[in-house]
Amino acid sequence: MAQGDCSIYNHAKEIILLGDIHFDSDIFKIVLLGSGYSFNVDGNNGYANVSAEEITASGYAAGGETLTGLTVTQNDTGDYAKWDAADVTWSSLATATIAHAVIYDDTITTPVADPLVCRFEITTNSNGGNYQLSFNSGGILQLS
């Protein structure tokens, strides 16, 4: 359950406009962070800035899950374009406090390795069962 909108990191905004991110073909991952992470839209640029705050729980692998089903679509009727991916499920994720989910681009290596794209605030903790993050029907990112 990704609650709220996706907050886009400032470095991501720059590299999106430079054309460095390819939302339909790059490898994107999503990580779960605990309550010790303090969202910093300016200073957190790459996965290395958040990796120390990843949750540690059975059923979770450091580095997160790879997003699948990447799509970029244009909607002329609604006058927008969106980027989306399939919902993500962690099977049998042990009990953990989860405060954030962060998507990063695992393809880009320079000038910042694994740039952070966006962050969701999370208010639902895992309880030992399957844990699913469902993206909004409007997509992960939408430009209108």
Residue 24: closest CA among 116, 102, 140: 140
For the segment 66-95, what is each residue's pLDDT rounded down to a tens digit? 999 999 999 999 999 999 999 999 999 999
Structural domain boundaries in the chain: 3-143
Q: At 6, is the pLDDT very low, low, confident or very high (cuts 50, 70, 90)?
A: confident
15-28, pLDDT tens digit by residue? 999 999 999 999 99
Judge whether 63 and 32 are in contact, CB under 8 Å.
no
**Residue 3 predicted with pLDDT over 80:** no
Q: What is the rounded CA–CA span in Å between residue 11 and residue 116?
A: 8
- Three-class secondary structure of residue 21 per DSSP: coil
Q: Is residue 52 over pLDDT 60? A: yes
- Please state, in angstroms and as integers, the Cα–Cα distance from residue 43 to each residue in 46, 89, 104, 107, 108, following that order: 9, 29, 15, 20, 18
Is the pLDDT score of 1 beyond 50? no
Q: Tell me the Ramachandran region of residue 79: left when phi exceeds 0, alpha when psi lies from -120 to 50, beta otherwise.
A: left
Q: What is the pLDDT of residue 103?
A: 98
